[in-house]
């Protein structure tokens, strides 16, 4: 599998953004180290959507992906980033009422960041054409009220710290994500 070959799918002991622990982690930044492979995967994802005016991704994981999917579709690309703890459009990005937006994210677990971007674009009058991801870590349980397509679906076990079997074995933990865990 390409994601294992590129070091995207990692095994070990990880603290997820949610604070839960897991024995597997998707480090999609490793995918985007490889422009040819990431462009191919983003192009494959773009083929699942049509009638799109723009592609938006949440920072940080969705920025490169949104660019590549937009390039494959021949449409505009924007990204949202956190400002005072909330997703915001900055850098002069705008969305016009009625524009059809595709939201993309590298890894979807709970869908929280994607939902924030959806809400942000809906507030500006956009229509949500769909949501795309490289990996759906929810095992297919996440829903966005719009068509959702992922290139790969995984059901990854996770535990509260107090229930983590890897902690009980005494293995050190790694926090590889881009956001800090709230303690």
Residue 173 belongs to some domain of the structure: no
Asked if 62 and 108 touch (Cβ cutoff 8 Å), the reply is no
In which region does residue 62 sit, left (phi positive, over 0), alpha (psi from -120 to 50) or beta (all else)? alpha
Using DSSP's 3-state secondary structure scheme, residue 119 falls into helix
CATH of the domain at 103: 3.40.50.2020
- What sections of the chain are H helices per DSSP? 2-5, 35-46, 62-73, 112-123, 165-168
**Tokens read off for 105:** 């994210």
The tally of domains found in the chain comes to 1
Using DSSP's 3-state secondary structure scheme, residue 56 falls into strand
Residue 109 belongs to some domain of the structure: yes
Residue 9 belongs to some domain of the structure: yes
pLDDT above 70 as % of the chain: 96
Work out the pLDDT band at 9, boundaries 50, 70, 90.
confident
Range of the domain at 126: 2-168
Residue 76 belongs to some domain of the structure: yes
> Which of 42-51, 87-96, 134-143, 145-154 bottoms out in mean pLDDT, i.e. has the lowest?
134-143
Residue 180 belongs to some domain of the structure: no
Nearest to 159 by CA among 18, 28, 58, 37: 18
Mean pLDDT, to the nearest integer, of 131-159? 90
Residue 178 pLDDT > 60: no
Q: Rounded CA gap, 123 and 159, in Å?
A: 35
pLDDT at 61: 81
Residue 179 belongs to some domain of the structure: no
**Across the beta sheet with 76-83, what order do the strands follow?**
86-88, 76-83, 54-58, 100-108, 127-136, 148-153
Residue 177 belongs to some domain of the structure: no
Residue 176 belongs to some domain of the structure: no
Asked if 77 and 89 touch (Cβ cutoff 8 Å), the reply is no
pLDDT at 183: 35
Q: Rounded CA gap, 121 and 96, in Å?
A: 9
Residue 120 pLDDT > 90: yes
């Amino acid at each position: 599998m390409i994601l294992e070959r590129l070091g995207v799918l990692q095994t070990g002991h990880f603290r997820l953004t949610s604070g839960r622990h897991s024995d597997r982690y998707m480090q999609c930044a490793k995918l985007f180290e490889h422009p040819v492979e990431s462009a191919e995967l983003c192009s494959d994802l773009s083929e699942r959507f049509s009638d799109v005016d723009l592609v938006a991704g949440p920072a940080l994981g969705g920025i490169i992906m949104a660019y590549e999917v937009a390039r494959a579709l021949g449409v505009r690309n924007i990204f949202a980033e956190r400002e005072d703890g909330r997703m915001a459009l900055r850098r002069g990005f705008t969305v016009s009422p009625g524009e059809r937006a595709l939201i993309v994210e590298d890894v979807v677990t709970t869908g929280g960041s994607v939902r924030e971007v959806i809400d942000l674009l809906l507030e500006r009058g956009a229509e949500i054409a769909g949501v795309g991801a490289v990996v759906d870590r929810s095992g297919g349980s996440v829903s966005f009220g719009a068509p959702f397509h992922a290139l790969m679906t995984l059901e990854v076990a996770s535990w509260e710290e107090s229930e983590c079997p890897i902690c009980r074995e005494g293995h050190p933990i790694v926090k590889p994500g881009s956001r800090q865990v709230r303690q």
